Structure formats: structure tokens, C-alpha cells
Amino acid sequence: MTITLQVSVNEKALARRVKDHVIGKPHDFFAVVHPGFEETSAQELRGLGIRDIKSQTIGGIEFSAKLA
């Protein structure tokens, strides 16, 4: 017995939902770095335009940014 489900997807609405919920909003990230390079990596992130660096720990940096 095979059941087939057909779903009508409005491509424009889907693109808008992805933009609003995934691409458009900031997400939390953790960048793993070699111990001792946290400040250098934080400066590099700032150079890329990432301003919301939440914390630096030994071996990593927690920050918030958009996927774009």
C-alpha cells in the first residue's frame, strides 16, 4: 500500500519564511580557536563586521550574528 501526499508550496512564501526565520535573524555561534588566539580571532571577527562578541573563553569565542 502506497500513500502519496501532494503539497502545494508557494515558492515566494517559502523564501520569505526562510528569510524571516533563518537568514534575517541573529543566531548564536561558538568559534573554536587554538588556545592563546582568542583575542586575535575576536579582532578578525570584528574586522568582518561582527560586533556582538558575547564572551571569550580558553579555546573559543561566543558571538551572535546573522547568517548573511
The predicted pLDDT at position 53 comes to: 95
pLDDT in tens, 9-63: 688 888 888 888 888 888 999 999 999 999 999 999 999 999 999 999 999 999 9
The predicted pLDDT at position 65 comes to: 92
In a domain, 39, yes or no: yes
The predicted pLDDT at position 1 comes to: 65
User: Which has the closest alpha carbon to 32: 13, 6, 57, 12?
Assistant: 57
Is the whole model's pTM more than 0.75, yes or no? no
In a domain, 3, yes or no: no
Q: What total of structural domains would you count in the chain? A: 1
For residue 8, name the pLDDT band (cuts at 50, 70, 90). low
Contacts of 29 (CB under 8 A, 6+ apart): 62, 63, 64, 65
Q: Which domain holds residue 64?
A: 27-68
